[in-house]
């Protein structure tokens, strides 16, 4: 019998509890302490001020299973979803934290004990990375854990912007950061992809399961690194990725939790191929959309609400692709199976089921009215434009039919074999037209509408305030 996701989550929390860690519940997806961050994208977000020394807690060790969304802002994985075995818009990050208590040695020893002793993962399936100058971490892995030197890979920070490095972790442009050591699982030579640091590292053979960040600095707006008052540990392991390892499957979508959702989507559409990309995308998106509503986000044309709107519309487009939409909607019917799969671990989801269903249903209904016509128009554009979609057309598809550019880009990418593509500069052209429209709207102080919902339901939501600029920078429409 393999372990269920539920059991794996519990194992993790209990293991670290037995090592003196306080179990801390997941914080919401809308960060309460940081209006510049679009969504909670890691377990450390709720502890940011503790790392910075600005906030004290009654404990120095914590463990959590944090709900995360990476669909906008600095960590945006929306365009990976459906294309890799390991990226979701919404996922759960298991993490242990030390606030000025233990550091590299203990963090590495704990991780190794849990993976190889408690869970029994064969040591020769694992390899690790360290920051290129971090001899201390290298020596701990090599001399104390006993990992052969050729399974410890040094990774630099020369991939562009400093924060783009895989082995120097940073939550955002400023804030706590430090070198990290990542643990990878080798799913075997039958799957394409090279080890970390190699040219084909982006394949799905060597999957990063756990990142151990050794937080030592607070990055300032000018880029300088100021040492933290006390070095800390922040780790993150994707529950879905470790579940795939422990359930002896390759893709996250094959784990128990996702299979439940995929079967529900298949039942709604009549699809029979459970590996169909659209079913996977729907199963991914229902989690992000539902938890965003639970945490106070409603579909809208700006900021967080716009990210939610685009994810709902992508999901609806996949239902459409699998055979059309029905008058009473489909996507919102995925909320019930989600509550079955995750309601016990997240009681707030079960408690807000009705609200989530109504919000998603209203958004689906609005989009379903124009989607058919939008798709027809897209095909006309493709036929007339030699399979290319330009900025003006992107703008029309969005403005008239509610099809956001990232949805179109994803559709074109799916049909790349037919030669469908965005024209050069299409996104820039689209942005320019959007900006002109915003100017006109500002001039007319037009109201940017949100989904119509009963006022009493809306009153149950906490307002969400977003003061950052990340949403504008990364509208998710990069391809």
Site residues (vs ligand ATP, CB under 6 A)? 70, 77, 86-88, 91, 93, 166, 208-211, 236-238, 240-241
| Shortest distance (Å) from residue 221 CB to Mg ion | 24
Binding at 470: pick from ligand ATP, Mg ion, none (beta carbon under 5-8 Å per type) = none
Q: How far apart are CA 449 and CA 300, in angstroms?
A: 7
- Residue 238 or 391: the one with the smaller Cβ distance to ligand ATP is 238
**Beta strands 126-131 and 152-155: pairing type?**
parallel
| Shortest distance (Å) from residue 336 CB to Mg ion | 31
- Residue 209 or 268: the one with the smaller Cβ distance to ligand ATP is 209
C-beta atoms surrounding 151 within 10 Å: 17
Binding at 237: pick from ligand ATP, Mg ion, none (beta carbon under 5-8 Å per type) = ligand ATP
Binding at 410: pick from ligand ATP, Mg ion, none (beta carbon under 5-8 Å per type) = none
Measured in whole angstroms, the distance separating CA 99 from the mean position of its chain's CA atoms is 25
- Residue 184 or 331: the one with the smaller Cβ distance to ligand ATP is 184
- Residue 85 or 382: the one with the smaller Cβ distance to ligand ATP is 85
**Beta strands 388-389 and 225-238: pairing type?**
unpaired
Helical spans, DSSP H, in 207-255: 239-246
Binding at 67: pick from ligand ATP, Mg ion, none (beta carbon under 5-8 Å per type) = none
> Are 39 and 73 within 8 A, CB to CB?
yes
- The DSSP result for 382-422, as a single string, is HHHTTTEE-HHHHHHHHHHH---HHHHHHHHHHTGGGT-EE
Using CB under 5 A, which of 166, 218, 254, 410 touches Mg ion? 166
In a 10 Å sphere around its CB, with 0-12 CB exposed, 13-18 middle and 19+ buried, how is residue 17 labelled?
A: middle
| Shortest distance (Å) from residue 201 CB to ligand ATP | 9
Binding at 236: pick from ligand ATP, Mg ion, none (beta carbon under 5-8 Å per type) = ligand ATP
Measured in whole angstroms, the distance separating CA 198 from the mean position of its chain's CA atoms is 24
Using CB under 5 A, which of 41, 64, 96, 211 touches Mg ion? 211
Which two tokens mark 352? 């807000």
Q: Is there binding between residue 208 and Mg ion (CB under 5 A)? A: yes
- Residue 209 or 407: the one with the smaller Cβ distance to ligand ATP is 209
Binding site for Mg ion (CB under 5 A): 166, 208, 211
């Amino acid at each position: 019998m393999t372990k269920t996701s539920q059991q794996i989550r519990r194992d993790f929390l209990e293991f670290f509890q037995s090592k003196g860690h306080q179990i801390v519940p997941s914080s919401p997806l809308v960060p309460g302490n940081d209006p510049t961050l679009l969504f909670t994208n890691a377990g450390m977000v709720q502890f940011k001020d503790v790392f910075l020394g600005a906030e004290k807690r009654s404990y120095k060790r914590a463990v959590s299973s944090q709900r995360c969304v990476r669909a906008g802002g600095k960590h945006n994985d929306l365009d990976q979803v459906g294309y890799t075995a390991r990226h979701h818009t919404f996922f759960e990050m298991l993490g242990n934290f030390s606030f000025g208590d233990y550091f590299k040695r203990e963090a590495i020893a704990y991780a190794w004990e849990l993976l190889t002793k408690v869970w029994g993962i064969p040591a020769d399936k694992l390899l690790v990375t360290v920051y290129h100058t971090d001899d201390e971490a290298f020596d701990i892995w090599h001399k104390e854990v006993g990992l052969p030197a050729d399974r410890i890979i040094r990774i630099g920070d020369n991939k562009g912007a400093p924060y783009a490095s895989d082995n120097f972790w940073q939550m955002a442009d400023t804030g706590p950061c430090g070198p990290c050591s990542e643990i990878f699982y080798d799913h075997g030579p039958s799957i394409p992809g090279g080890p970390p640091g190699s040219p084909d590292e982006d394949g799905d053979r060597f999957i990063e399961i756990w990142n151990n960040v050794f937080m030592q600095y607070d990055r300032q707006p000018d880029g300088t690194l100021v040492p933290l008052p006390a070095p800390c540990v922040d780790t993150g392991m994707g529950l879905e990725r470790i579940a795939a390892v422990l359930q002896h499957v390759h893709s996250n979508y094959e784990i128990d939790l996702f299979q439940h959702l995929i079967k529900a989507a298949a039942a709604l559409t009549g699809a029979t191929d459970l590996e169909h990309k659209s079913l996977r995308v729907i199963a991914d998106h229902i989690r992000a959309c539902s938890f965003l509503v639970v945490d106070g986000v409603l579909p809208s044309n700006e900021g967080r609400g716009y990210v939610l709107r685009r994810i709902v519309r992508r999901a609806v487009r996949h239902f459409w692709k699998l055979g059309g939409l029905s008058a009473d909607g489909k996507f919102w019917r995925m909320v019930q199976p989600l509550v079955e799969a995750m309601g016990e671990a997240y009681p707030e989801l079960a408690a807000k089921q009705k609200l989530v269903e109504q919000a998603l249903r209203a958004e689906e209904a609005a989009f379903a009215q124009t989607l058919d016509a939008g798709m027809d128009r897209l095909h006309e554009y493709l036929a007339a434009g030699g399979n290319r979609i330009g900025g003006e057309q992107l703008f029309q598809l969005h403005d008239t039919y509610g099809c956001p550019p990232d949805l179109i880009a994803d559709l074109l990418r799916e049909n790349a074999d037919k030669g469908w593509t965005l024209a050069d500069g299409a996104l820039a052209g689209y942005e320019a037209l959007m900006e002109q429209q915003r100017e006109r709207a500002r001039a007319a102080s037009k109201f940017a509408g949100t989904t119509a919902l009963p006022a009493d339901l809306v009153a149950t939501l906490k307002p969400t305030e977003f003061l950052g600029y990340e949403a504008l920078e990364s509208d998710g429409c990069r391809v």
